[in-house]
Amino acid sequence: MSVDAIGLPATTTAATSTATSINQQDFLQILLTQLQFQDPLKPVDNEQFVAQLAQFSALEVSTEQSQKIDSLLTIEGADQAVALMGKTVQAGADQANAVGTVTAISFSTGEPLMTITTASSSVTDVKLSDVTLIQ
């Protein structure tokens, strides 16, 4: 979660949130700065800091798990595309319901893109999500 400066409009673009995200080291630096400049007559409760640190650690673990799940889904998509090699499939609306055999798979964009050879032509760059029927 990004924190905007006071008086500036809040921004929600992905580039801004990535550029302004903080890691655990930044959080500890903020925590130490708060402790240095706190009012000695009204000290901040230490339990709040420990709770914030625990929440931040849990958020980091959740982010790491999300990234690992994304990696697993990418691998699973590649496995599914490879399993379609040589099978007859029907592709969705982008390919005008082309029916043919999967003859090649390309990973040039990071996701599997299949080539479907029909009776009359060849359809390239078919995404796995465009396949509507497997025969």
Q: Which residue has the tokens 């029927």?
A: 133
Q: Which of 5-19, 40-54, 55-69 has the lowest mean pLDDT?
A: 5-19
Q: Looking at the structure, do residues 66 and 97 belong to the same domain, yes or no?
A: no
According to DSSP, residue 108 is labeled T
Task: Give 94-113 pLDDT, tens digit per residue.
Answer: 656 788 899 999 888 888 88
What average pLDDT does range 119-130 have in this prediction? Answer: 84
Q: Looking at the structure, do residues 18 and 50 belong to the same domain, yes or no?
A: yes
Q: Looking at the structure, do residues 35 and 65 belong to the same domain, yes or no?
A: yes
Q: For the whole prediction, is pTM greater than 0.75?
A: no
DSSP 74-95: HHHHHHHHHHTTT-EEEE-GGG
> Is residue 55 a part of any domain in this protein?
yes
CA distance 77 to 112: 7
Q: Looking at the structure, do residues 64 and 40 belong to the same domain, yes or no?
A: yes
What is the pLDDT at residue 11?
A: 47
Q: What separation in angstroms does the CA of 58 have from each of 88, 107, 117, 127?
A: 46, 34, 48, 35
> Is residue 3 a part of any domain in this protein?
no
Residue 124 domain boundaries: 86-134
pLDDT of residue 47 exceeding 70, the answer is yes
Q: Looking at the structure, do residues 90 and 76 belong to the same domain, yes or no?
A: no
